[in-house]
Amino acid sequence: MKTNKIVRPMRKFGNLLKDLFYPKDTRHFWVRVKDNVKTKEEKENFIFAIIELLNQRITIDGQDTEY
């Protein structure tokens, strides 16, 4: 009889909760965004603001010098 590996999806959910409630102990961060805007210009400004936030938050590891 073959045994199958048990998938533990609650472990991944627990990791997500830890990232939300203990942000200093994790290497990930969350961004909450609106999914509804009134004009195309507002949408473009919002996307630009998200890109700027990501550029500020994401750091490059000093060991990886290929780029």
Convert the pLDDT of each residue in 13-50 to its tens digit.
888 888 888 888 888 888 888 889 999 999 999 999 99
**14: in domain:** no
Which pLDDT does position 55 carry in this prediction? 93
Give the pLDDT band (50/70/90) at residue 5: low
Domain count, the chain: 1
Which pLDDT does position 45 carry in this prediction? 94
Q: What is the pTM of this model?
A: 0.59
46 contact partners, CB below 8 Å, separation of at least 6: 33, 34, 37
Place of tokens 């200093």: 24
- H helices within 25-67, ranges in order? 40-57
**34: in domain:** yes
For the segment 57-66, the average pLDDT, to the nearest whole number, is 74
CB atoms within 10 A of CB 62: 6
CA atoms within 13 A on the CB side of 53: 11
**58: in domain:** yes
**11: in domain:** no
**54: in domain:** yes
Range of the domain at 37: 27-62
